[in-house]
Structure 1
């Protein structure tokens, strides 16, 4: 019998509770998620560990709830670990005041000065310092909105762009920490501010955020349609070689690739990855003007395409291909990625090795992920599920080895394993 997690960790128990609330049978749920009743039964009993985000989202959609209900997120820690929720509440307060006169004393700084603060947020995001991001944002959102309220022309447009990008930082941190209300509201406010930003690519970035949110409802087809709508809006900039449009276009193709893979459209996912690869080539080529500030904080690159290829292979359930793709990847391109992206990639590799039956390498990659981005990994439901599977696998393997040895020593006659 497999080892089971404690009640507060057992996703199967929460699935069963939500199913019974809706009056659904195991057969009903099995039909909805295209599995067997036996499989649903094993999930609810804890005999199967769910370690695929797409599958968890499909189950949540069938049960008409947010995935965080099943994952019991946000996770409850000690007093220090819970302080980020204070910052999240302050951000929500500012976002609700978006169409009121900002409560800001004194004169707001210029857009140039505020963009310099955005660079600091980039560094925090790259380090996956999500708590620090949330703690920084309440005052920053208030000041950028005050600048928009008190300025005109290009300065006003830049203030709205800063506000939208700040919402994107909050959106990323909220996803990492598991705060669905903050996720939804930051996405809405980013779309609102983008329309007044004068930035032709920023509305597409807001759609890029919405695609991420759509995954929670397992609406893969709508996710692709929204990606294509956003792609069309930046197509002219992409064709002209605008650096920002190239990054947004490539990032949207990666979003579409994951959506297609989760919908079982592996060939289309590969096509999208090919488009993204071409976009990354064009970004890398440049035009001789030097590096361009990534104001949208998308960090799109050839390395990002490489790790998405691995992720898409895992979404298709092909861990062997995922590991092969990783072997063929350029390690320098991956190493150039922010620690947050490298941490995600290491989590993917951990799952791939675990599915391939190598728990030692799976643990090695999970440890590497934690070193790279500790806040991200310790709060990530897939990392936690992967670690549980490693732990239980080791326990079962050790128990079997001890049982075999005890048979040779005739210890079983003494009821050691009863």
Structure 2
């Protein structure tokens, strides 16, 4: 794992030299010292914030995955998801051609039931399984749109758009930049044909995520606000799906502001999201089917508040928020969100100087969502930092003990 940190540093150095950029120039662009850049390129400093990693990649005009070597090397079995990803790419490329589908496609209500299965897999962070299901579902949704009219045709395109969102989420988790970009584009296309007034805002929510890769923080906030305006009227009248989208977009804006270093705006956006989450919690009657798969809730707002604090370098604030959070709010979240939450807590405890608690939280995150955590660059960075610190501490203990035993004498 320590060799992985050194290789990341070497990739940064190669990308910098390819541009003819001195270390001092990169340091100035990042607001760091030249010594910091030098240590980072030697693998002695971890890129333990997504915002920092993305900012470096943006300055070097590469994708963040190019610097961290993602998708990470694993066994042939674990890499089988890339076969499914290629099949999804094929379907997305031929989006405006007659679909290759034998027989009669199922109705939109039946396909929404199939999408519910994807929701459960997403909640469990089973991204490989999602990839394997999507090619057939894309084909069938597109076939339904081809043979139907009116509302049924619009629903077929809504299902196609939601499939794009699932592909987008899984591709982010596993590290497939091309699929990320194409699924986002096709989601916008199908959302416009869906007749769903909230769906275009959901596709903008996806685009904001993609803007983070190039550290376009201001654009990410502006796009969030553009999308918020499109659902504002429905939000004001209390439409449940619009409230979820509005709150989710505020969380996107909060993270964007934190990565831009704008603490006041980040906190303000979290405050807006809390208001929306309270409205969700107060809704009565039958539960609203979350057809857009946004999983917006009070618990999700709390874990975003912790992520925002960490992006601002405030691990003490992150741990305080966690202490004040009702455990039930977190336990009610999907495993995918719980795993991310405990990964963040591991980072917070590590920065706070408690490696034992950091490792405990990281282990818990892996137990909850193993596929997500093993493929997440921040989890790997946190584990590398723990391993390095433990090795350093052990060497120091052995050196002192060696001196006491006079082993060099």
The verdict on a shared fold, with TM-score over 0.5 as the criterion, is: yes
Residue 248 of structure 1 pairs with residue 236 of structure 2: no
CA distance in 2, matches of 1:126, 1:290: 21
CA distance in 2, matches of 1:7, 1:106: 50
Closer, same or farther in 2 for the Cα pair 1:177/1:9, shift >3 Å?
Answer: farther
CA distance in 2, matches of 1:154, 1:289: 26
Task: For residues 180-238 of structure 1, give each alpha carbon's deviation from its aligned partner in whole angstroms, at most 9, with x where no partner exists.
Answer: 00000000000000001111000000000000000000010000000000000000010
1:183 alignment partner, one of 180, 183, 204: 180
CA distance in 1, matches of 2:147, 2:263: 50
The residue that corresponds to 2:303 in the other structure is 307
CA distance in 1, matches of 2:69, 2:44: 19
Residue ranges of structure 2 left out of the alignment (5+ in a row): none
The residue that corresponds to 2:276 in the other structure is 279
SS of corresponding position for 1:299: coil
CA distance in 2, matches of 1:117, 1:340: 20
SS of corresponding position for 1:412: coil
Residue 322 of structure 1 pairs with residue 314 of structure 2: no
Task: For residues 19-68 of structure 1, give each alpha carbon's deviation from its aligned partner in whole angstroms, at most 9, with x where no partner exists.
Answer: 11111110111111111111000000111111111000000000001101
The residue that corresponds to 2:152 in the other structure is 155
CA distance in 1, matches of 2:20, 2:234: 51
Number of equivalenced pairs: 409
SS of corresponding position for 1:241: coil
2:407 alignment partner, one of 379, 404, 411: 411
The residue that corresponds to 1:416 in the other structure is none
Alpha-carbon distance, 1:339 to partner: 0.3
1:43 alignment partner, one of 37, 40, 43: 40
SS of corresponding position for 1:6: helix
Task: For residues 244-287 of structure 1, give each alpha carbon's deviation from its aligned partner in whole angstroms, at most 9, with x where no partner exists.
Answer: 0000000000000000011111111111001000001111111x
The residue that corresponds to 1:259 in the other structure is 256
Contact 1:7 1:13 in 2 (8 A): no
Kindly report the root-mean-square deviation, in angstroms, between the aligned alpha carbons of the 2 structures: 0.9
2:209 alignment partner, one of 212, 223, 244: 212
Contact 2:99 2:142 in 1 (8 A): yes
CA distance in 1, matches of 2:401, 2:333: 47
SS of corresponding position for 2:213: helix
CA distance in 1, matches of 2:137, 2:73: 27
Residue 386 of structure 1 pairs with residue 382 of structure 2: yes
Closer, same or farther in 2 for the Cα pair 1:202/1:9, shift >3 Å?
Answer: farther
SS of corresponding position for 1:217: coil
Alpha-carbon distance, 1:291 to partner: 0.3
CA distance in 2, matches of 1:197, 1:330: 38
Alpha-carbon distance, 1:6 to partner: 1.8
The residue that corresponds to 2:114 in the other structure is 117
Residue 77 of structure 1 pairs with residue 74 of structure 2: yes
CA distance in 1, matches of 2:364, 2:144: 42
Residue 357 of structure 1 pairs with residue 353 of structure 2: yes
Closer, same or farther in 2 for the Cα pair 1:390/1:292, shift >3 Å?
Answer: same
2:135 alignment partner, one of 135, 138, 144: 138
The residue that corresponds to 1:108 in the other structure is 105
The residue that corresponds to 1:164 in the other structure is 161
Closer, same or farther in 2 for the Cα pair 1:235/1:183, shift >3 Å?
Answer: same
1:337 alignment partner, one of 329, 333, 337: 333
Task: For residues 334-390 of structure 1, give each alpha carbon's deviation from its aligned partner in whole angstroms, at most 9, with x where no partner exists.
Answer: 100000000000010000000001100000000000001000000101100100000
The residue that corresponds to 1:401 in the other structure is 397
CA distance in 1, matches of 2:5, 2:382: 17
2:292 alignment partner, one of 275, 289, 296: 296
1:68 alignment partner, one of 49, 65, 69: 65
The residue that corresponds to 1:17 in the other structure is 14
The residue that corresponds to 2:362 in the other structure is 366
Closer, same or farther in 2 for the Cα pair 1:82/1:9, shift >3 Å?
Answer: farther
Alpha-carbon distance, 1:7 to partner: 5.6
Task: For residues 298-332 of structure 1, give each alpha carbon's deviation from its aligned partner in whole angstroms, at most 9, with x where no partner exists.
Answer: 00000000001100000000000100000001110
Alpha-carbon distance, 1:5 to partner: 2.1
Alpha-carbon distance, 1:290 to partner: 1.3
Residue ranges of structure 1 left out of the alignment (5+ in a row): 414-418
